[in-house]
């Protein structure tokens, strides 16, 4: 019985420690086509983030993809579409040597129906491209284009990632994302202490009972 109790105790502690954290969606989706091939719709939010992308990780824009909060007063005429453009210049640690990553910016543009994300971006910023690939936005980076780079333990290509957001989605503010993760961590800690307290109580009871049975 004592060995069985120790096995159950170990299982309970392992369960309490390994409770997974929740992932909160901020509504960005990696585009499956380039900006020139992506047709915008009214209320679209297009995002661009500069950074080092790998096979398993591509940095997303750090601005919440919420059209109403970015462009609350934007209006459009007949056969025109409203588009919010988010441009995140990335972390300074991943910027090319000698260059400073500008602050993130947003822009609200109106384009004719049938326009692409590239058309919207061209109205929001100055673009430098090569063979259809976006190399620089508003002069950043100055010269390189999708160059291979290593920063710390991250090795990949430094480029502008393109993201889109479904206008019908209900995005979760980043502040709520942090609160959700914090709530899960707090609940996990409380459960861990409850399990440990129960386990210690049972252990003391079993130990006393074993000693009394020997007497």
Nearest to 136, CA basis, from 27, 194, 50 = 50
- pLDDT above 50 for 25: no
- pLDDT above 90 for 198: no
Q: Name which residue leads in pLDDT, 13 or 56.
A: 56
- pLDDT above 60 for 85: yes
In the chain, where are the structural domains located? 2-21+177-214, 29-169
**Mind listing the pLDDT tens digit for each residue in 112-169?**
999 999 999 999 999 999 998 999 999 999 999 999 999 998 999 999 999 998 665 5
pLDDT of residue 19: 39
């Amino acid at each position: 019985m004592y060995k069985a109790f120790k096995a159950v105790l170990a299982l309970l502690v392992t369960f309490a420690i390994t409770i997974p954290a929740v992932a909160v969606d901020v509504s960005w989706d990696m585009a499956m086509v380039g900006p020139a091939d992506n047709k915008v719709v009214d209320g679209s939010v297009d995002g661009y983030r500069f950074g080092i992308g790998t096979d398993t990780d591509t940095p997303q824009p750090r601005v919440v993809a919420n059209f109403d909060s970015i462009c609350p007063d934007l209006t459009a005429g007949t056969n025109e579409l409203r588009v919010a453009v988010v441009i995140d210049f990335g972390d300074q640690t991943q910027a090319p040597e000698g260059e400073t990553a500008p602050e993130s910016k947003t822009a609200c543009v109106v384009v004719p129906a049938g326009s692409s994300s590239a058309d919207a971006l061209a109205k929001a910023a100055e673009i430098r491209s090569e063979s259809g690939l976006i190399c620089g936005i508003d002069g950043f980076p100055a010269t390189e284009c999708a160059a291979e780079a290593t920063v710390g333990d991250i090795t990949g290509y430094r480029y502008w990632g393109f993201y889109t957001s479904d206008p019908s989605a209900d995005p979760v503010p980043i502040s709520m994302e942090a609160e959700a993760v914090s709530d899960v961590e707090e609940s996990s800690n409380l459960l861990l202490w409850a399990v440990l307290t129960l386990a210690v109580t049972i252990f003391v009871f079993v130990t006393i009972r074993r000693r009394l049975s020997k007497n």
